[in-house]
Structure 1
Amino acid sequence: MFDFIFKRPAGNPPSKEAPDMAQEPDSSADVAAAKNAAVTQAGTLAGNEPAAVEFILQCEYADARFKAAHHIHSRQLLEQVIQAIRNTDRRVAKLMQRRLEVILLQEKTERQADECIAQAQRLIEAPSLMPNHVADLDRAWAAIADSEQPMRDAFDRVRAVLRERLEAQAALQRAVIDVRTKLQKLTRAATEASHVFTPERLLQSLESLEQEMAQYYADREAQTLPQHLLSEFEKQRDHFRQTLVSVEKRHEAMAAGEAALAGWEEMSPAILKEDELQRVWRALPALVQAEAALEARFDALLVRIGEVRKAKDGASKNVEQGHRQYFTQALDSMEKALESGALQVAADQHKALRSIDSNKASPSNAQTARLAKARGELQRLQGWARWGGNISREELLKAAEELPAKSHPVAELAKKVGSLRERWKSLDISAGPASKELWERFDTACTAAYEPAAAHFKKLAEERHANLEKARSIITEVKQFAAKSNCADGDPDGVDWRAVAVFSAKTSQLWQRLGPIDRKDKKSADTEFETAMRLLSGPLAVRREVEITHREKLIVEASGLNPADRRTTDALRALQERWQECAKSLPLERKDEQALWQRFRNACDAVFAKRKEAANAADADRRLHLREKEALCATLEALEKEQSEVLPKKMREAAEAWSRIGPVPRSSEQQIEKRYRSALAILEKRVNDVQRSAKEAQVTALRDKLKLCRAIEQLIANDRAADDAELMQIQAEWQTVPELAGALERALRTRFELAMAALKTADRQHAALLQRNRAVLERDVLRLEIIMGIESPPELSRERLQLQVEVLQSSLKAGQRPPSRQELLLQLCGLSALTDHLLDSRIERVAARMDGGKS
């Protein structure tokens, strides 16, 4: 606290270049020259930072140190200078601190940019890239201040790679959705128009879609596919396979029904029995009976049989009367059939003729001859028919033997084998029975050709049996888990409900994915599974009701939050964490989970929306404040042409108005603040220039008036009389000097008038007073130099040191207020004492350091 006693502040060692400066005489001119030399030397230190640091630590002139500080840029030397002159030269310390902060900010920006680029590289190498990770990366990069161009280029490159991966993920998801949509359309087409699509065509389409999905599974971004898309595709594929089995059964049934109808339609209605046909038809699968076209053909066949039967019944009632007519008609029909080549019809008519009792028909000789001729022709044509039938059988045998070499789908193979057998049977009717050897060859060939289909159907039966075993295993596992989980013990707190819910969902999915089971076992297995699942689903449903009630309370709590409360965001985050904990502890049904989550999310969004509205209102206020501050800056800028006298008042009013205006948008805060400071700086510079000019004028006036007082007092001390002309000239010179401010003018005027009066009257007492007051004047000047920190002449160093101690002691005494600088200046200016040029110059320096000599 006593550092002001000494010329150099504490902490700065004396200069090595001038060790005896305190002992050598020093003047203002020497000080100015040394200062200029130091400033010049500081300008030569550009590019030599260590020398600049050494110069700053040794130099005693602030301007030179400040100029040398501009040459220092490295971090280590900046920290060294700050540490050394933190408390001695604030201007240099601030400059060093600003540069150091710029360096630290640049290093921080580079470090953050490196971290962002490294994070981006990790995301590129990560097997699973999430969009929220990329969004976090973008936010982190946006928070970084302006970085170097190489950093920005590097980040842009890795960000482009991330963007490509995200686009690839989106394209992959769209492709999977398209495949799922195609599978849905294919399933719907197979269900609604199964008669149009063959099982082979449907199976080929499914295999094509599966191959396409396999390519998507092998894609690099396959891990990012949503699980529900994959599970839905798997579920849709299993459903399609079940539909495909139904389509195969339908086609097989249709083939069997078509073959049966074709055989019956080729046979004569007279030999067909309606009851037998009804029994065989009803034994066919229900799909055949549901086919309108086949059912219509079967009904038409029944109508034909009924007509034939009615005709027979009518003929039997009048046998005796109609035998002859019937014989004649049958013979005519046989002859016509033989003429037209309808061998089967002719054979049927021949059978009808043989069934007629010749005694009752009593044919004539001509009819008998005609019958013999017709029989001979029938035998001849039947021989040809047997020959043609054998040729047809050879073709059927060849077709059956060639079937194994052809790669037909299973359903088509079974259909072709059945068709061959049906055609063989129809040939037995139309062309007579075949030889045993030929039949055995045909049967062996059909059996060999049918083996893949038989193996396929056997495999399907084995799969149905295996699926039944899997179903029984699942039921057993459900019962064991129910017993192990203690769901029915009545202690809900001791049950792992999440495990129960996960097991129930997983087991239900497994049951749904089971393949086909025999119809006779399917119903009982479903019933047993439902019974076992009720052991879990019952208590789980009760627990889920409790959980739904708890979730409802969270929704109500979120809806009741006050958007204006500062802690609302933390409260919402806490509620969301509680919601996630509840969802993890016990998942609800999908529809309940989604509905409750949507309500909870809407409640949170409503709170955030209200907070956003408040933020928007605050932004509007900030924009309004910005316009007010811009208007205030424009007003300050317009004051540059105003009179300088009104500027201080206007500046104070502007500062008060500026402090009353609220905050502005952060993006414009620095800009508007800079504009305001710039306008103030311009006005302050103008006011300072005016005040400095006024101060210089006051100092000049003080010097002139002190010079006049000294001249008059020197005349009094020299006992020299002045005539009236000299007195009038001195009085005129005094009038030409501008007045000083306030009490200082009055003190000097009083001193001047006393001196003029003493000069006129040749007052010797005043001359003695001038001699006595010189020592007082010198002491008061020295006191002011000490208080104001102004250097004194070297020869007064001892007196200065003694007076410094006295000043310190007087300042430490309690109850005494030391005189102010203005009071001391007023006192020494008004003191009538003899002075010289050196003493007047010291008084002028003291006055120049004050604010214009105001009291």
Structure 2
Amino acid sequence: MNTPVSPKSNLATNHPLDELTGGAFSAPTSGERAARVRDWLAKEPSHEEMSEVFKELSQRDRGAAKPLKEKLDEHKRLKAQEAIAADWAAKAQGLLDHPRLNLADAMAWQRDAARAGAPLSREPLSSLKASLVERVKAIEDLQHRVQVERESAVLMAQRIEVMSTKPWRDAQKSAPALGEDVAAWQLQASTLSDDPQWASVEPKFPPMLEGSRSQLQVVWDAFEAALAQAVAAESDPQAPLPAVPVWADELRVARGEPAAALAQKSERDGKASQEHRAQVMAEFERAIVVLEREVAEGHGKATPKAAADVRNVVKTHSRLIGPEQEARAHAALKEAGDLGDWQRWRADQLREELVAKAEGLLQAPEGQRLGGRKMQETLRNLRDQWKTTDQGGLPNHALWKRFDEACTAAHKLVETWLVQVRQQADEHKAQRMAIIDELKAWTQAHADNTDWKSQVRELHAFSERWRGAGHLSEKAFAELQPLWKTAMSAAHSGLETAQKQSVERRRALIEEATVMGAAPQLRIDAVKALQQRWQAEAHAVPLDRKQEQKLWEAFRQPIDEAFSRKSSERERAATELNEHDQRVLVASKALDAATATEDAQAIRAAMDALDSALRGQAEARAATPAPAPVPAAVPAAASDGTQPDAPGELQSEPQGDTADAPVEGPAEGVVTASPEAPPAPKPAPVKKVVAVRGDDRPGMKKAEPAGRDDRRGSGRDARNGPGAGRGGPGRGGAESGRWGDRPDRESRGPMAPRLGDTAFRAQRNAVEHAEAALRKLAAQAHGEVLTQLFKAWEERDVEQLPTAQALGSRVNAATRGAWSQSLSVAPGKASPETLLRLEMAAETPTPAEFLSERRMLQLQLLTRRNDPAPAETWSQDVAKVLAGGYDAAVARRLQTVLKVLLKR
């Protein structure tokens, strides 16, 4: 049975590439087509054939074309890698062919090639890499040998210098061995300079080796010359002594020179103070400690300097340094010379620590990883530390590869952060450009605006927006800042012109103030007008705060000086007390003394005396004799038989300063008056109140008597009787309607002299203290009276009941008698209604538990039309309460009521 073939398969049967691919186009399913494609790829077809098949097959079946696409991508990748490998192979070959190899370029080649994706593990790059590594290692070994030879030369020169401190015969014995060592060193140094890699070492090493060679040769030549001179001086007494002090002294002793010279020399040597030796030992200790520390820590760059310091100390102060210190110095210098191999091991340790730090940057949790900027700074620090380590030891390419890969992976976070920073910088730049454009538009729109205060506020808002517009790089900010300054300068042009004009006007006002302040007579109205002009100018055009404050101080200075002169003149005049001020001061002091006694009568008497002194009555009494007393019952018109012309001409008080003077001499019922003064009018009888509107609830005020006949009186002053209204003949008189409260100027007589500042303040303070003392005494007296009253009630003792005068003006003799009678009888039971009536009369609050009874009593009182109000019967209610037994709660409520009722 034949399997049906799809139309698509029939169409693909005749495809020209079907035979080439082994039936990949005619296969019935996608899996079979992919399998045939893989079989065809195993035969290694050419790249052109694969490209043509992929182009046709990818349009029909992408799944089957996937292996073909992977193969093409691999070919493409290999081709790209071959191109990259050829490029980097050419670079490596160029480095190797160059007579002078740069170590930095050689070490950077492997790093850059790996970063570019070059296949370093395949030929020819693998062999080129090995060649570069070998050559770099040979150059570094050569440089290391130069450093070792340099240190060896230094140690050899030190050995020669040490021999000069020993006897010359010992030096003569050691000279052949030293000569052989010097010759061997010179030969070895020549071998280094003949090395093929010598041209590739760093430029600092050849001068270093040459300097060591010349220095060692100079030291050896000087040693040989001194030793030859010492040998000649031993055989010939006339030969000159060598320049070495130890050898010269030894030869002097051998020649038998006078002991005095030697003793003198030894004495000079013995005079080296202990302080100098201590200083030398301290300097040696500091130098040797530094050298030992550098050797222990492996700091290759700092070790040569520390070793040089130790050698200088030993060379300069060899006589003062003992053998133990000298041996310690030789040991430290030897370790410093052998530090090269140890430095390489220490450098690898430091590199491993840096690699661990670099790999740990990405191993931290997400929340604990460093930010972009912090990561960038950390990576920069790690790379700088790696460079420092490379300078102190030989490089390690395996560790460098790990370190560079870790840093590159961590740098991806920095790149992401940099992209965000650039985006933010672009946004901030666009925002600032928008602010500049908006400022330019604002400048054109407000070209004719003269509201300078609003302009200052809006320009300040622009400046604040510019400050808060985000961070920019220095370059971008340097580009935008001139544009901003230009736009802001154009926006401020109108305001600056107005400010210049305002400053000129203010300076003109300052000149006016100066002229006004220099005038002999200061006009207050002119000063106020000038200040108003200044304030108007300040409100119209704002200036810089410092400049405005400076102008304001210059403006107010002459005016303040003028007022200061006026105040000083006034104070000087006030200090010169006249007689009137002296009398007031004396009366004020007397009032203060009376206040200190806490005697109410003495205080009131002193206050009356002070009032008389203020009015000048004492002076008036001394100057004017008192008139003869006239009986009050006899009218003044009886003396001449005439009557006053009009009611408004009544005179009830004398003229002049004697209006308030006390009467001296006359008996009761007799007043002084002029013969022409008519008798005082009798007061109108008070109309009895028939009805009162309102209620007796606590807090409500009783209405005034308001009858219809009263309301139809002559205006608001109908209470003064007919003819006393606004249009009556008594208008303006001493007892007229609206203005009857204060007499006219003529009726008051001449005014008292003006008080000085000292007297005025003294009398004011004295009066205030006296009034406060009276209030305090009144409160104390009232409290003592209530305490005495309640004690009499509690003990039922009539003798302890206060007098009517002590109880106040609201309690007369009859009321006190009723209270005494209540206390004298046996105590009964007081009605609760009595306390409620008292609380209603005093309008004081009632305890919460008795509020319902109080409301009920108020409703009952509204129905009792003919019963007197509680305010009229409070004294009888108090007597009823006192007739009952003493109770602490009732006493507290009664005390609250009496505090109000006895003071009214």
TM-score (ref. length: structure 1):
0.29
Could you say which structure has the higher helix fraction?
1
Higher relative contact order (CA 8 A, sep 6+): 1
